[in-house]
Amino acid sequence: MARQTRVSNSNMMTLSEKLKRFSWGLFIPVFIVLVISILILFSAGGGSWHPFAISQLIKIFLGLGIFFFAAFTNIKLWIKSAYIIYFIALLMIILVTFVGHTGMGAQRWLDLGIFHIQPSEFIKISLVLVLARYFSWMNWKDSIELKNYIIPIILMFLPFTLIVVQPDLGTAISLGLITVVMFYITGAKKQWFIVAGILAILAAPVVWFGGLHNYQRERIITFVNPDHDSKGSGYQINQAKIAFGSGGFVGKGYMSGTQSQQSFLPEKQTDFIFTMLGEEFGFIGAFILLIIYGIIISVLFWMAKTCRNRFGQLFCFGFMLNFFIYYFINISMVLGLIPTVGVPLPLMSFGGSSLLSLMFGFGLCQNAHINKDQQLSAKGF
Amino acid sequence: MIDSEVARLFDRRSALFLTGGAVLTSVLIIRMLQMQVFSYKDYKRRSESNSFRIQINVSERGKILSASGSPISRDAPIYRIYLVPEETDDIDGLIKIVSRELKIRKKSIDRIYKTIKKQVKFQPVLISENSDWKKLAELQAQNLPGLHIKSGYTRIYELGSAGAQVFGYVGVPSKPVPNAPFFTTGITGLEKAFNESLTGTPGQTVMIANAVGRITGEDKEQFIPSQIGKNLKTTIRENIQKKLHDVLTLNRAGCGVVIEINTGNILAMASTPSFDPNNFRMDDGEEYIASLRSDIAKPFMNKALEGLYPPGSIFKIIVALAALESGALLPNEKIFCPGYWDYGDRRYHCWEKKGHGSVDLVGALKHSCDTYFYQIALRIGIDSIKSMALKLGMGEKFLSEILPREMAGVIPDRNWKEKNIGIQWLHGDTIISGIGQGFILSNCLQIAVMMARVASNKIITPKLVEDNNSENFKNLKLQTKNIKTVLNGLEQVLQTGGTASGNAINVNGKKMGGKTGTSQVRNISMSERESGVLTNEQLKWNMRNHGLFVGYAPTNNPKYVICTLTEHSGTSSPAVHVAAETMKELLRDG
Say which of A249, A328, A381 has its CB closest to residue B3.
Answer: A381
Q: In chain B, which residues touch A (CB < 8 A)?
A: 1-3, 5-6, 9-11, 13-14, 17-18, 21, 24-25, 27-29, 31-33, 35-37, 39-40, 42-44, 46-48, 50-51, 208-212, 216
Supply the mean pLDDT for chain A. Answer: 83
Distance, CA of B302 to chain centre = 6
- Report residue B365: phi and psi, to 5°: -75, -45
| pLDDT value of position B370 | 94
∠ CA B357-B360-B364, nearest 5°, is: 75
Cβ of A380 within 8 Å of Cβ of B1? The answer is yes
Give the domains, in start order, of chain B with CATH numbers: 53-233 (3.90.1310.10), 238-287+300-465+473-589 (3.40.710.10)
For B516-554, how does the pLDDT look when each residue is reduced to its tens digit (9 = 90+)? Answer: 999 887 655 555 555 666 666 666 777 788 999 999 999
SS3 B374: helix
**CB-based contact (8 Å) between A309 and chain B?**
yes
Helix (H, G, I), strand (E, B), or coil: what is residue A357?
Answer: helix
Winning range, highest mean pLDDT, from A183-187, B222-226, B318-322: B318-322
Closest to B203 in 3D by CA, of B62, B57, B55 = B57
Cross-sheet strand order for the sheet of B546-553: B266-272, B254-260, B560-566, B546-553, B513-519
Q: Whole-angstrom Cα distance, residue B374 to residue B351?
A: 12
Name which of B1, B13, B211 is nearest A309 (Cβ-Cβ).
B1
- Collect all residues of chain A within an 8 Å Cβ-Cβ radius of residue B21: 297, 324
Q: Identify from B10, B34, B53 which residue to disrupt to test chain A contact, counting A C-beta atoms within 10 A and taking the largest count.
A: B10
For residues A60 and A355, what is the distance between their CA atoms, to the nearest angstrom? 7
pLDDT at A2: 38
Bond before A51 cis per omega within 30 degrees:
yes
The answer to whether B44 contacts A248, with C-beta atoms less than 8 Å apart, is: yes
For residues B422 and B286, is the Cβ–Cβ distance under 8 A?
no
Residue A110: what residue type? L
Which of A184, A187, A262 minimises the CB distance to B51? Answer: A262
Q: What is the pLDDT of residue A380?
A: 37
Specify the 3-state DSSP secondary structure of B216: strand
Q: What kind and span of H or E run contains B244? A: helix B238-248
Beta-carbon separation of B43 and A282 below 8 A = no
CB contact under 8 A, A337 and B27: yes
Rounded mean pLDDT, B486-500: 91
Lowest mean pLDDT among A61-70, A100-109, B90-99, B163-172: A100-109
CB spacing of B50 vs A264 below 8 angstroms: yes
- What would you measure as the largest C-alpha separation in chain B, in angstroms? 148
For B69-86, what is the mean pLDDT?
88
To the nearest whole angstrom, how far is the Cα of A184 from the nearest Cα of chain B? Answer: 7
Q: What is the mean pLDDT of the segment spanning B44-65? A: 81
> Which of A193, A235, A242, A337 has the most B C-beta neighbours within 10 Å, making it the best mutation to test the interface with B?
A242
Question: What pLDDT is attached to residue A147?
Answer: 83
Half-sphere exposure at residue B414, Cβ-oriented, CA atoms within 13 angstroms? 7
Alpha carbons B569 and B327: distance in angstroms, whole number: 37
Give the per-residue pLDDT at B180: 73
Partner B contacted by A281 (CB < 8 A): no
A262 touches chain B (CB under 8 A): yes
Q: CB-based contact (8 Å) between A65 and chain B?
A: no
Q: Over range A149-155, report the average pLDDT.
A: 90
Of B1, B33, B208, the CB nearest to A308: B1
Checking if the pLDDT of B388 tops 70, the result is yes
Q: For A323, name the nearest residue in chain B, comparing CA atoms only.
A: B21
The alpha carbon of residue B224 is apart from the nearest alpha carbon of chain A, in Å, by 20
Work out the pLDDT band at A264, boundaries 50, 70, 90. low
Of residues A1 and B365, more confidence is placed in B365
pLDDT in tens, A111-138: 665 667 788 889 999 999 999 999 887 7
| A263 contacts B50? CB cut-off 8 A | no
Closest-CA distance of chain A to residue B15, Å: 10
- SS3 state at A180: helix
**B31 vs A181, A263, A337: nearest CB:** A337
Chain A residues 122-141 with a CB less than 8 Å from chain B: 140
The size of the A-B interface in CB pairs under 8 A is 126
Cβ distance B18 to A301 less than 8 Å, yes or no, reads yes
Q: What is the pLDDT of residues B419-468, one digit of tens each?
A: 998 999 999 999 999 999 999 999 999 999 999 999 999 999 999 998 87
User: Please, which pLDDT band fits residue B131 given cuts at 50, 70 and 90?
Assistant: low
Query: What is the least distance, in Å, from the CA of B4 to any CA of chain A?
Result: 10
Please judge whether A262 and B209 are an interchain contact, meaning their C-beta atoms are less than 8 angstroms apart. Answer: yes
Quote the pLDDT of residue A187.
81
| Among the listed residues B353, B297, B373, the one whose alpha carbon sits nearest the alpha carbon of residue B535 | B353
Q: Is A25 on the interface with B (CB under 8 A)?
A: no
pLDDT of residue B124: 78
- Rounded Cα distance between B97 and B95, Å, is 5
CA dihedral sign of residues B176, B178, B182, B188: negative
Residues in chain B with CB shorter than 8 Å from the CB of A181 are 17
Give me the pLDDT at residue A130, please: 94
Name the pLDDT band for B202 (thresholds 50, 70, 90): confident
pLDDT for res B215: 65
Winning range, highest mean pLDDT, from A370-379, B146-155, B252-261, B276-285: B252-261
The strand pairing partners of B550, in sequence order, are B515, B563
Question: In chain B, what percentage of residues exceed pLDDT 90?
Answer: 60
Task: Quote the crossing angle between the two packed helices A273-306 and A231-246, to the nearest 10°.
Answer: 80
Q: How far apart are CA B569 and CA B582, in angstroms?
A: 18
Query: How does pLDDT run across A300-356, given as a tens digit for each residue?
Result: 999 999 998 889 999 999 999 999 999 999 999 889 888 777 789 999 999 889 999
The ipTM (two decimal places) reads: 0.88
Least confident interval from B67-81, B122-136, B182-196, B286-300: B122-136
CB B225 within 8 A of CB B57: yes
Q: How confident is the model at residue B589 (pLDDT cuts 50, 70, 90)?
A: confident
In the predicted structure, residue A5 carries a pLDDT above the cut 50: no
Q: If we measure between CA atoms, which residue out of B553, B391, B400 comes closest to residue B482? A: B391
Q: How far apart are the first and last CA of chain A?
A: 18
Interface residue A196 vs chain B (CB under 8 A): no
Nearest to B2 by CA among A11, A380, A185: A380
DSSP A29-91: HHHHHHHHHHHHHHHHTTSSSTTTHHHHHHHHHHHHHHHHHHHHS-HHHHHHTHHHHHHHHHH
8 A C-beta contact, residue B558 and residue B552: yes
Tell me if chain B has a CB within 8 Å of the CB of A239: yes
- DSSP letter for A373, please: T
For the ranges A169-183, B106-120, B185-199, the lowest mean pLDDT is seen at B106-120
A193 touches chain B (CB under 8 A): no
Amino acid identity of residue B527, one-letter, is S
Which pLDDT score is estimated for B220?
77
Q: What backbone phi and psi angles, to 5 degrees, belong to A57?
A: -60, -40
Angstrom distances, CA of residue B513 to CA of A126, A171, B459? 114, 104, 20
